[in-house]
Structure 1
Amino acid sequence: MSESRDTIYADPLREAGLFTFDENVARVFPDMIKRSVPGYTTIVAMTGLLAQRYAAAGSVLYDLGCSLGASTLAMRQELRGKDCRILAVDNSPAMLERCRNIIDTDTHDTPVDLICSNLEDVNIENASVVVLNFTLQFIPLAIRNEVIQRIYDGLRPGGVMVLSEKVTFEDPHLDELNIELHHEFKKANGYSDMEIAQKRAAIENVLLPETVATHKQRIASAGFGSCDVWFQCFNFASLVALK
């Protein structure tokens, strides 16, 4: 499938509006996330390796907020010979439609079920791997504790959760530095100042980042025995938590 270039915010807008994962975003999503999220390709690839290590026979792997299925595919290609299945969940019909087209062209044989739902409404059961790659940040703050608790409760002992997020920093100087470095990263990838500003205005009340310390505290409170950052670039980080 050809990759369309992200020009959603290339022209002046009267109002940015709220960012939504609609057909316009789904069409350009691979280009958008590659040019916007430093380390995204590495995080997705390593998600596959973590799945290979922790996937248990007869268990379920969850990709919560699967978008176009990049993490699902990364896990799927590493599960050769393992009796598992993957549940890929997203609440955007436009994303899931394109995800299904991509999954259908993949030659690996681990079963994948696509579910159109809010992730907080999905029962986590018999899980050995649960992945939330840049998903929790779009969930209301008031229910994030409950989401992580339900994941912990649905994981088998020895299971793993991968949580990747845009993060903020307690130190305001570090916070501003990492925001500026992220903007420079986007400029280096061809986004204009106007595109960056309009996208920021559209997403600032939709994507609500937290500190790494807040994520670690929430994960520990849910019951996870081990948790730490395994990847970080500027204000984007990925944590691994073990039950």
Structure 2
Amino acid sequence: MGALSGKTALVTGGSRGIGRAISERLGKDGARIGVHYGRDEAAAKETVAAIEAAGGQAFTVRAELGVPGDAEALWTAFDAQADGLDILVNNAGINKAVDGTLKRIATVTEEDYDQLFAVNTKAPFFVTQLGLSRLRDGGRIINTSTGLTHGAAKPELIAYAMTKGALDVFTRTLAKDLGPRGITVNAVAPGATDTDMNAAWLRGEGSQAARAATGAISPLGRVADATDIGDIMAFLASNDSRWVTGQWIDATGGALL
């Protein structure tokens, strides 16, 4: 039996990148995984297939985040396939403006700002709010933050970092609120990670210098793989983390030292 056998987990943004690594690792540990996605159904089905091929159980949950009624739609889709929840991972997020670019304060529009906060901050707030009636006592809530909220400031990611700063406050406050139910709430903060989102500058032509420079920031001398983050999430989802709550977990590979 795995450490999470008999548990049910929901991973938002669980079909790609870090979310997929989280979904696969929790599935490997025995949890039945709700793999949430917004638009890429093929990726979600691939993640489910990978979990099942490894002997686990999973199902897809479709709901676009950042739009009116997103939390209600997500839980309606979840409830059709599961009865109750043990682990909620608020992982879904975006870091670019509406036009797909990174912007400094001078060029961030109200539309950019509103979309970033709608997906990264408002959605996890209300997904969690509506999920609390489904989350069993002793459960786990894990939020994906970023090293940018505690590390070197990046002007081109100002609005994104602000959304995650709010999520960090949400994490600490919710941990105190839900402690009497035995529910722990923590945030995991990755640094630069080798995922599809970062493929253009970490994997593309001429990316060797950028990859080497990024890896050199960590004392471990490499760029993070999505599985590095998924494994940390698995610890926080397990009973081994029962005395850890309200924490911001540095998952940058020591890049902030």
* Superposition TM-score, scaled by structure 2 size: 0.47
Pick 1 or 2: higher relative contact order, CA cutoff 8 A, min separation 6.
Answer: 1
TM-score by length of 1: 0.49
